Amino acid sequence: MPATEVTPDDPNFCYDEFAYFDENCHEYGISRPGDLAVARVAHTLDDGRTISGLRWGSGRPTAVFLHGGAQNAHTWDTVLLALNIDALALDLPGHGHSSPRDDGWYDPANNAAAVIATIEAFELSDVLLVGMSLGGLTATAIAARRPDLVRSLVVVDVTPGVNADKAEAVHAFIAGPQYFETFDEIFGRTVHFNPTRTHESLRRGILHNAHRVTEGEHAGRWRWNYDRRKLSTEDMPPMVDLWSDVAAVKAPYLLVRGGASPVVDDDDVAELMRHQPTAEVIVVDGAGHSVQGDDPLRLTEILRNRL
């Protein structure tokens, strides 16, 4: 916990998104880089929406990270602290600091268009592209459509074979209450649905992904930051088209599978290999769907070999 006596429910509590890196490092035994530089950046799309993200390092980013549904760019903090590379971690549309879509559709194709425009705006190409869950499907769509932008693709615990049954626990969490009376209430629900995560990491995650409402009828309550409209697999277009995207990827393809996650099964892996015969699959034992949260240091090792 950052050095403060003020609790999140205290009106004097002030959230600083850059104040938790020391806590990340301490929890996982990471030496904080002496020249650590992280900045909030943004790109305005042609339709006026903003895509926001975190720029890690002072050099040209060589990797781009895309989070899962109902998450945000801070989900990669521990991994990026450990990697200590120049990278760009983006908030997908309707998540974090990025603008929502008017229609509420956050399918991989729509997300890919916004991310491609952002990558181009930062004049990046030939990057290591890492995506988890919805971000992984988005990353696959990007790699299929714009092979010039992607040197290597890493997809974390998702394939187009995902469905409502496999992602039942994820959807149950997202479909829960939007507002909570206290921080303890939102924290308790989050702990219940994430039994493999440390309480410290979940607390940080909530502070990065929710806020205390200050005005209106819900003033004083906690609210999730992401747009909850049409975030479930049931609301997505047919996944069969995404298998075509998998087949179209030219970059080296790595699937990182959570060993304790039901989201990817053996049939999905077989279908992946049918579309991408040279793909590599690595299983992180004991990790659930959010591998970067459950075992960030193992994921760091895997990614370091792709740099």
Determine the average pLDDT of the residues in 202-218: 95
Domain for residue 2, yes or no? no
What does the block give as tokens for 15?
A: 């959230």
Domain for residue 139, yes or no? yes
> Among all chains, which residue has been given the structure tokens 């903003």?
50
Name the active-site residue from 261, 289, 290, 295. Answer: 289
Whether 19 shows a pLDDT value over 80: the answer reads yes
Known catalytic residue: 184? no
Q: What's the CA gap between 67 and 75, in Å, rounded?
A: 7
Q: What is the CA radius of gyration of the chain?
A: 18
Confidence of residue 59 (pLDDT cuts 50, 70, 90): very high
Residue 2 confidence (pLDDT): 46
Domain for residue 6, yes or no? no
Confidence of residue 235 (pLDDT cuts 50, 70, 90): low
> Among all chains, which residue has been given the structure tokens 């895309």?
66
Known catalytic residue: 98? no
Determine the average pLDDT of the residues in 189-215: 94
Residue 228 confidence (pLDDT): 81
Q: Domain span at residue 172?
A: 21-304
Specify the CATH number for the domain of residue 128: 3.40.50.1820
Whether 295 shows a pLDDT value over 50: the answer reads yes
Determine the average pLDDT of the residues in 196-201: 92
Query: What's the total number of domains in the chain?
Result: 1
Confidence of residue 290 (pLDDT cuts 50, 70, 90): very high
Name the active-site residue from 52, 98, 99, 133. Answer: 133
Residue 63 confidence (pLDDT): 99
Name the active-site residue from 91, 107, 157, 245. Answer: 157
Residue 1 confidence (pLDDT): 45
Domain for residue 14, yes or no? no
Known catalytic residue: 157? yes
> In sequence order, what are the beta bridge partners of 257?
283
Question: Could you count the other beta carbons within 10 Å of the beta carbon of residue 171?
Answer: 18
Note the pLDDT tens digit of each residue in 113-124.
999 999 999 999
To the nearest whole percent, how much of the chain has pLDDT over 70?
Answer: 95
Determine the average pLDDT of the residues in 168-191: 93
Determine the average pLDDT of the residues in 142-162: 98
Burial class of residue 192 (count of CB atoms within 10 Å of its CB; 0-12, 13-18, 19+): exposed
Determine the average pLDDT of the residues in 11-32: 95
Residue 233 confidence (pLDDT): 52
Domain for residue 5, yes or no? no
Q: Where are the alpha helices (DSSP H) in the chain?
A: 21-28, 77-83, 108-121, 134-145, 168-174, 183-193, 199-209, 240-248, 266-275, 291-294, 296-304
Domain for residue 216, yes or no? yes
Whether 289 shows a pLDDT value over 70: the answer reads yes
Determine the average pLDDT of the residues in 145-161: 98
Whether 275 shows a pLDDT value over 60: the answer reads yes
Domain for residue 3, yes or no? no
Residue 54 confidence (pLDDT): 99
Whether 206 shows a pLDDT value over 80: the answer reads yes
Confidence of residue 3 (pLDDT cuts 50, 70, 90): very low
Contacts (Cβ under 8 Å, ≥6 apart) of 217: none
Question: Could you count the other beta carbons within 10 Å of the beta carbon of residue 29?
Answer: 8
The alpha carbon of 123 is separated from its chain's Cα centroid by a whole number of angstroms, namely: 22
Reading phi first (left if > 0) and then psi (alpha if -120 to 50, else beta), residue 156 is in beta
Whether 232 shows a pLDDT value over 80: the answer reads no
Strand, helix or coil at 2? coil
> Among all chains, which residue has been given the structure tokens 């992280």?
38
What does the block give as tokens for 201?
A: 């990491």
**For the chain, give me the number of helices (H) and strands (E)?**
11, 11
What does the block give as tokens for 291?
A: 């591998």
Note the pLDDT tens digit of each residue in 71-92.
999 999 999 999 999 999 999 9
Domain for residue 280, yes or no? yes
Mean pLDDT rounded to a whole number for the chain:
94
